[in-house]
């Protein structure tokens, strides 16, 4: 179970890594990540400071897939890369996970 916290960031993933900046509110301890494409896989990455996604080196989300990952509230940057040109929207949302 998780509760959404803060504002989402949408990254328009293409065949090259596209970065975005996210603000994690105090107490956020996860990210809900959604791939809106009906055909493309996306590889995603998050960090403190600038980052780039490389296909297959971090979590890969299938078409119309979603993922919740444990993080902390210090995350500042996100990135996504698509399995083809796209673009496709990848939505990163800060969450507070229970448990």
Integer Cα distance of 86 and 70 in angstroms: 27
State the pLDDT at residue 6: 85
pLDDT in tens, 23-35: 999 999 999 999 9
Give every residue of the chain whose pLDDT is below 70, as ranges. Answer: 1, 99
* Tens digit of each residue's pLDDT (9 = 90 or more) over 63-74: 999 999 999 999
Q: Which helix (H) or strand (E) holds 4?
A: strand 2-4
CATH numbers and ranges of domains, the chain: 2-97 (2.60.120)
Contacts of 72 (CB under 8 A, 6+ apart): 24, 28, 29
Query: What is the C-alpha to C-alpha distance for residues 37 and 28, in angstroms, rounded to an integer?
Result: 26
Question: What are phi and psi for residue 90, nearest 5 degrees?
Answer: -120, 120
């Amino acid at each position: 179970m998780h509760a959404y916290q803060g504002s989402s960031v949408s990254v328009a993933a293409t065949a090259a890594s596209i970065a975005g900046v996210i603000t994690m509110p105090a107490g956020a301890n996860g990210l809900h990540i959604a791939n809106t494409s009906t055909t493309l896989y996306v590889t995603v990455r998050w960090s403190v400071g600038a980052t780039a996604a490389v296909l297959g080196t971090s979590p890969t989300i299938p078409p119309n897939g979603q993922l919740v990952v444990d993080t902390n509230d210090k995350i500042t940057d996100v990135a996504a890369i698509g399995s083809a040109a796209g673009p496709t929207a990848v939505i990163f949302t800060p969450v507070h996970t229970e448990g």
